[in-house]
Structure 1
Amino acid sequence: MQVIEGLPDKAEPSVLALGNFDGVHQGHRRLLAGGLAEARRQGIPLAVLVFYPHPWRVLFPERELKLLTTQQERLRIFAEVGVGIVYLLPFTRQLAEMTPEQFVRDIVLSLNTRHIMVGFNYSFGSKGMGTPADLSLFGERYGFKVSVLQAQAVKGKVISSSAIRRALSAGDISLAREMLGRCPCLCGKVVSGEQRGRQLGFPTANLLVPPGLMWPKRGVYAVRTVFTGRTVYGMMNIGMKPTFHAQYSPTVEVHFIDFEGDLYGKELSVSILERLRDERKFADISELKEQLAQDARRARRWADGEKGASR
């Protein structure tokens, strides 16, 4: 997969998918699948145009926006599904002030676009005035086709990045997983912590999550990761350590079951399987250790269930 920063001097003909693609969820994947089918029919690659930073961070800097995926993870998924070219275009105030037609003339046409794929709620141009219907009219004027994917839903709920953020905020991992088409995950570098998990008999890897990423609701989760080619299961705590601190910045700690090894400095992507319980304050260390043992047993059952399903 080619990753091209900015607009190229000369672009090869392509089918172009437009959108933010945060999370690359099931709706995005269906859009990309339609684009791939059209690209194969025409014998040209599927390209994706992605703005960075996310337009909302430029237009509404006062609003906190937590993203579902890092740029690196998004590119990895694009490659996995068969995207041939990704154009990474810096989003600026100047770009935001383009009229819808300027956007088409200056950006879409410069990418040698033969066919465009967009979702039903795609907007473009100044103040998001351009709609998929407008894009179709411009296509008739400038010589490209447009396909619009209608709303996709699971359990009667429209799939969207915002809906997935709401599910994660509520701790609804099942719904988030269905909308994503895979487990939600947290990624980051393993850093040193208070070493308290080791003292409790449950050593943890403390994950430094990149700023601006979405965290699920505080609590304990069953998780898995892949480290040096091996799938490892465990439990993850997202919280503020209320048993030990009156006030503490939220942290992400992962205890891996049946695993020994030095993870410091390693980059991990931790897939979240299910929520086990809420965060809580314990009366004493023995009560906490007893609960951790119960959490570990439940996490192990998740691991055994997944291993059994894969046989």
Structure 2
Amino acid sequence: MSTLTTAHRPSGAAPRRPYRPSGLTWTVLRLHRTALYAWGAALLIVAAGLIWMHAIGPGARAATGDCGPSGVFSSDCGFTKETAAERIHTYGLDLASACVTYLLYPVAVWAGAALTGREMESGTARLAWTQSVTPARWLAARLAVPAVPLTAGTALAVLLGNWTRRAGNGDLSGGWFNTNVFVSTGPAAVAYALAGLALGALAGLVLRRALPAAAAALAAAYVLHSVLDAFRMSLWPAEKVTGQAALHIPHGALVLERGATPSADGRSGIWAAYQPESHFWPLQLVESGLLLAVAGLATAAAFALLRRRHG
């Protein structure tokens, strides 16, 4: 059989080899496959947990009841009727929300330490630049390749989290204005991840050493997260009411300020400023825009630095 096969092969033809992916994209995936596997495993765990919590959500809702008129949470409701299903649903959502909210930090550290810092420190980047790969193309691949699974995976986690949250009692899973709930239920989660990626990559190019770059990226992520967390409710004009309306703030709103002002007849007038739940999307879009602007500026700075150092 081998003789016949050899006889029918054209003379001088090289043996066929199975197709193997190649190119800069495949190189990035191969070099950072451990991080890709870890991200995929974490996403599968979070997705499986959220799907399971969605299944037990109706049981948690039935156990807690309406919790007062119009779904207003009372101090007695959650504690007197708490069940295992309700505890799992609430704590599970809290854990999933925290994982999505603080994804910024591990992404920034990984990008600073492994994505650019380690390759600059070890000389792998310079070696790539001698293989017909320009520095700009090298950096573009290192930003674009991880950005795709980060965006897709984070968006999936956000959608599954919202789906699961609607299956349970919303009053028991945290107000929309709580940091973990706010970030993990909208596009800001994706924007935080991309900002962490860009800041980490910039730190790696600036410091050119893995550990210092990881520390600098972590510090930058902390500052960014803290500043936006402190000023989040100032990113969109608050509603201001006076008189009796100040004593009857809509359910689900976050009261920012409340006070009294003296009037001409000596009586005090009551006023309040609050963010209603209807401002969730304006606040989400403004914060996401700021984060994407930070990501864009960090990316532009990284390309400019690379161009100035290496032409």
Give the TM-score, by structure 2 length: 0.18
Structure number with higher helix proportion: 2
- Larger CA Rg, structure 1 vs 2: 2
